[in-house]
């Protein structure tokens, strides 16, 4: 069978477009989000829902992981939230399990409901003072490593640079007992909450971006960090493709 040149070209173009479409097809059970300004697309787990980024702002800075701390505020006051995703609570805030102990007593275990969130933020360069902007060469790593500076948290992985597709990113991760804001009534202080967190930062098209992932469950953290991202026309790839472990107590 003989094909005319135009037929061959058309066939080739259609095949190429099919391959591109296949590469752009989101994974099952994911929801897409796109920013034309950032030329960025995300595909995140569908059980997460969009939240109002304004609710995590307090006096002009981000209250990261619901921790309001003066030193942390100094690190986040130039971050501008672009997207907030949260795992909605569909059941009780906590459940209890009872098991017989070796001494014959009853052991009661309280398990909090699983929480999770993803925050995408951009560093406002105009917010930085001239001295910091001109002298700092660690802006990207500093953004990701904020998760290590949260009071009560400690590093669980060596901060590292790697590529998501062709895009270079920096990662840091931590775990610990994050201290939530204390209520005015000191008789009922807020109890520190178990937290696993990861920060991933990058310089994309002159936008200094950072993702903050958090959960009180390590398996859930590992699930949400598989959120895939497309930088420009690149193929979508997970932000952190590996499983993160926990540190020894």
Cα separation, 126 vs 130, in Å, equals: 9
Judge whether 7 lies within some domain.
no
Total number of domains constituting the chain: 1
- What is the CATH number for 49? 3.40.1000.10
Judge whether 109 lies within some domain.
yes
pLDDT tens string 28-55: 889 999 999 999 999 999 999 999 988 8
Judge whether 11 lies within some domain.
no
User: Which residue range is the domain that position 149 belongs to?
Assistant: 25-90+104-238
CB distance 67 to 180 below 8 Å: yes
Q: Residue 147 corresponds to which tokens in the numbers above?
A: 């998760």
Q: 178 vs 25, 191, 196, 200, 221, CA distance in Å? A: 37, 9, 9, 19, 15
CB distance 107 to 98 below 8 Å: yes
Judge whether 128 lies within some domain.
yes
pLDDT tens string 208-249: 999 999 999 999 999 999 999 999 888 899 999 999 887 655
> Which of left, alpha, beta for 65 (phi over 0: left; psi -120 to 50: alpha)?
left
Quick count: other Cβ atoms within 10 Å of Cβ 156? Answer: 21
- Given pLDDT bands bounded at 50, 70 and 90, which one contains residue 115? very high
DSSP, res 66: G
Judge whether 140 lies within some domain.
yes
CA dihedral sign of residues 201, 202, 203, 205: negative
Judge whether 3 lies within some domain.
no
Judge whether 12 lies within some domain.
no
Whole-number pLDDT of residue 28: 81
Judge whether 248 lies within some domain.
no
**% of the chain at pLDDT higher than 90:** 47
pLDDT at 19 over 70: no
């Amino acid at each position: 069978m003989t094909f005319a040149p135009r037929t061959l070209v058309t066939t080739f173009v259609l095949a190429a477009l099919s391959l591109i479409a296949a590469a752009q097809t989101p994974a099952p059970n994911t929801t897409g989000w796109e920013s034309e300004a950032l030329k960025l697309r995300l595909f995140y787990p569908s059980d997460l829902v969009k939240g109002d980024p304004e609710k995590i702002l307090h006096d002009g800075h981000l209250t990261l992981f619901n921790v309001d701390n003066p030193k942390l505020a100094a690190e986040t006051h130039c971050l501008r939230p672009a997207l907030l995703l949260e795992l909605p609570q569909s059941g009780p805030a906590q459940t209890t399990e009872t098991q017989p102990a070796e001494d014959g007593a009853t052991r009661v275990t309280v398990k909090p409901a699983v929480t999770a969130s993803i925050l995408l933020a951009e560093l406002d360069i105009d917010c930085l003072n001239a001295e910091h902007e001109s002298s700092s060469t660690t802006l990207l790593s500093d953004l990701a490593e904020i998760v290590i500076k949260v009071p009560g948290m400690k590093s669980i992985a060596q901060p590292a640079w790697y590529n998501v597709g062709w895009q270079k990113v920096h990662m840091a991760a931590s775990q610990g007992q994050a201290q939530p804001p204390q209520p005015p009534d000191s008789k009922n202080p807020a109890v520190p909450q178990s937290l696993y967190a990861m920060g991933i930062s990058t310089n994309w098209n002159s936008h200094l971006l950072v993702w903050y992932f958090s959960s009180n469950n390590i398996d859930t953290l590992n699930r949400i960090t598989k959120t895939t991202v497309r930088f420009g026309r690149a193929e979508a790839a997970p932000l952190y493709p590996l499983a993160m472990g926990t540190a020894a107590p």
